[in-house]
Amino acid sequence: DAKTTQPNSMESNEEEPVHLPCNHSTISGTDYIHWYRQLPSQGPEYVIHGLTSNVNNRMASLAIAEDRKSSTLILHRATLRDAAVYYCILRPDSNYQLIWGAGTKLIIKP
């Protein structure tokens, strides 16, 4: 029970922004929204997380809807190295396991 819904795959052109959506309509007030990505044959990599406010870091931006029932991961300028499976995960506490859904496979076209 991943509690999040993401498109199976998305395509984008290199050097263009990418908006990866995630629906989490049953989110509770204490759930943090996490994003991870996994490149082929590698362990997952932390991307970003947030609770209510939009968040920015060197990798990406996270836009969280006002009702928190959806969020969008924004890669401002996609490169070929951003081709990966992106996972949107809800996590109530750092002591809780991450529950992995199927994620979105992002394909970057040169």
Partner 1 sequence: GAVVSQHPSWVICKSGTSVKIECRSLDFQATTMFWYRQFPKQSLMLMATSNEGSKATYEQGVEKDKFLINHASLTLSTLTVTSAHPEDSSFYICSPGARGHYEQYFGPGTRLTVT
Task: Name the site residues for partner 1 (rule: CB under 8 A).
Answer: 32, 34, 36, 41-46, 49, 87, 91, 94-95, 97-103
Strand partners, 70: 23
The dihedrals phi and psi of 70, each to the nearest 5 degrees, come to -155, 160
46 vs 69, which CB is nearer to partner 1?
A: 46
Look at residues 11, 33, 14 and name the one whose alpha carbon lies nearest to residue 105. Answer: 11
Could you tell me if 30 and 95 are in contact, meaning their C-beta atoms sit under 8 angstroms apart? no
Q: How far is the CB of 78 from partner 1 (least distance, A)?
A: 21
Q: How far is the CB of 2 from partner 1 (least distance, A)?
A: 8
CA distances to 1, 78, 81 from 28, rounded to whole Å, are 15, 31, 33
Q: How far is the CB of 46 from partner 1 (least distance, A)?
A: 5
65 vs 99, which CB is nearer to partner 1?
A: 99
41 vs 110, which CB is nearer to partner 1?
A: 41
